[in-house]
Chains A and B, each alone.
Chain A
Amino acid sequence: MTFCGIELEHPVINGSGTFDAIAARRAFGDELDRRFPFSMFVSKTITPEPRAGNPPPRLYETATGMINSIGLPNKGLEGFLAADLPQLAPLPVPLCVSVMATDREGFARLVEAVGSRDEVAAIELNVSCPNVKSGLIVGEQPTETLALCEALRPLTAKPLVVKLTPNTADPAAVAAAAAEGGADAVSLINTVRAFGPDPATLGPWLGAGSGGLSGAAVRPIALEQVRRVAAAVSIPVIGMGGIESGADAAAFLAAGATLIAVGTANFRDPLAAERVRRELAGLGLESGVGASVASTST
């Protein structure tokens, strides 16, 4: 299949920040590359400068889900290009690099640097961050998203994917703004803002106070948002949010997604995506699924 001009073997990729191929190679050895479960690999988000991440605790288990407040630890642009990219380049699938900055200049620096590398097939813009100038979360505002995409579009010929946040009143309006600004695709959903109380104090448990919910718990929210976004834009949609089975994946494809991403399920089983793909193929829906296909019972 083809996604934004990139040849992919199948429609199952990973959500950014849910699979670290470099660490997984340490844990599982060469078998990781021989049996790589995703048709495209989306990196953890990188920022212009290095980040240590949030203080622990960073995880909170909920009913069929988890809240995380990881805080985007990463080596920064220079560290990524020097240390991580050479280790990601040998993966047997195209590479999509996720980037985030708190101002347009930072985003531009990331997109230009990453976009100029032959090892990179696509760039995902993580817009779930505040613009330090306006104080607004870019991905929550159609106007901010439009302006960012318009500024970045001329800087690279590589596909730009905008990762949408669910924490906004009208994700379809933000998606339409991304498309208008020149984005080649959108992906959704990012985590849903959430709070997990310390059982002893009922105050914050997580080091950062609150975090983002993922896992099966968010799947119905994700499906509805994917459905609305897919109806509002003509660019491809990458659907994700609690996908754990082929039937889950089929429901996202039926809702209008072109690709689906496995996220939190990777934590439960590092080969979850391989099973999702196998089950999806078994349903006979892998290609040609559109919004007209009746939703699959889950």
Chain B
Amino acid sequence: MRQAIVDYLQMNRVSLTPAIIATTLPYINDRDPIYIKNKKHIYVDVDQVNQITAINALDGSGATQEHTNIRAFLVTDAKQVLPNYETIVQTIKDARLTPELNVQGVTQRLVTVQTHFMEDALVTEFLFHFVKLIPQ
């Protein structure tokens, strides 16, 4: 599902300008996440998957709910907020609606946006939450 989000952001990169989509994962670089160093880059983490039983059947069939969480990060200058910051955030949020996820059978798609400060940086963290049903 990470790729679906990255693909959506690439298609809508004009709305994200001046932020650009990083090709690497948000790894740790010299004790800090790479997105702290590279401001105005959007980093998308890999899928975190959790499965829970939706329907138990006596013959071992049934259905399972698969929850997938994906985090994305954008760091900007806290002292001078980007003029189109809200447009950028909205565009990243809209990645949850990408039609590519319809093919993958997603039934629920939610996103949470949180911010915090690290020194003079505004860290915007997006948490995408997708649910789909799969055979047990």
A binds B: no
- A interface list, Cβ under 8 A from B: none
- B interface list, Cβ under 8 A from A: none
